[in-house]
Amino acid sequence: MSDEEFKALLSLEPVEPERVERYGEHPSQVIDFYGVGAPGPRITVLHGGFWRERYDRAHLSPFAAALAGRGMRVALVEYRRVGGGGGWPTTAEDVDAALEHLGSPPDVLLGHSAGGQLALWAAARRERAAGRIVAVSPVADLGRAHQLGLSDGAVAEFLGGPDLVAGRLYEADPMKLLPRVAVEILHGTADKDVPLELSRRYANDWGTRLHLLPGVGHFAPFTPRTAAFDVLLDTLK
């Protein structure tokens, strides 16, 4: 299911933003804006890709444009990633700097996959990262994700190597970081990229609302005109 969903998402033409702002000097320290001046809620989006350089924000530009078409003001954040000057803690510091650049907290901080981990980190580390956090298929338990070897050892890459994982979990793992704002999680039951188990563990530990998406994989919520997208849209509203 996730492979088909991934192909469907990548088949969409990227959508140019209405405005771009820099929050730092590195080429990846940029924010794309969609729905500038729209009347609806402010949504800040953190994309996924297991924190790796080869996955950037472009694949979520059609999603951002679709939200803008429904009256939302969207800020799509790019950040430094592993292989491009990122990794721990640089990637998280970029997210913090981007939120600082945006000024007042958004109504929703939305994170997908690895971006979900970053959103949950921000929920714990910033006094008020957003009105609420919505995390879709987040890597919400870095320790367990490392044990499972998700995406060929992506967690170890992100945290700087296998020898550093244990020590850095206390700084980076959402399972060890009490959220300071309301959190909602959406997770497909057919997700092969990030197991539902990770969201269940996080929700059980922190009392977070967990919405299951039956038969849905990893990418459909971010593909406009899918049923999963409609569920996510209703959650954002």
Encode 32-50: b = buried (16+ Cβ within 10 Å), e = exposed: bbbbeebebbbbbbbbbbb
What is the model's pLDDT at position 186? Answer: 98
Q: How many residues comprise the chain?
A: 237
Q: How confident is the model at residue 2 (pLDDT cuts 50, 70, 90)?
A: low
Please give the average per-residue pLDDT across 125-143, as a whole number.
96
Could you check whether the bond before residue 179 is cis, i.e. omega within 30 degrees of 0?
A: no
Which CATH number fits the domain 2-236, given the four candidates 3.40.50.1820, 1.10.443.10, 3.40.50.10440, 3.10.20.30? Answer: 3.40.50.1820
What is the model's pLDDT at position 127? Answer: 87
Residue type at position 175: M
Q: Is the pTM of this model over 0.85?
A: yes
Pairing between β-strand 42-46 and β-strand 108-112 as defined by DSSP bridges: parallel
Distance of CA 3 to the CA centre of its chain: 19
Which residues are registered as beta bridge partners of 77?
A: 31, 46
Q: How far apart are CA 81 and CA 106, in angstroms?
A: 23
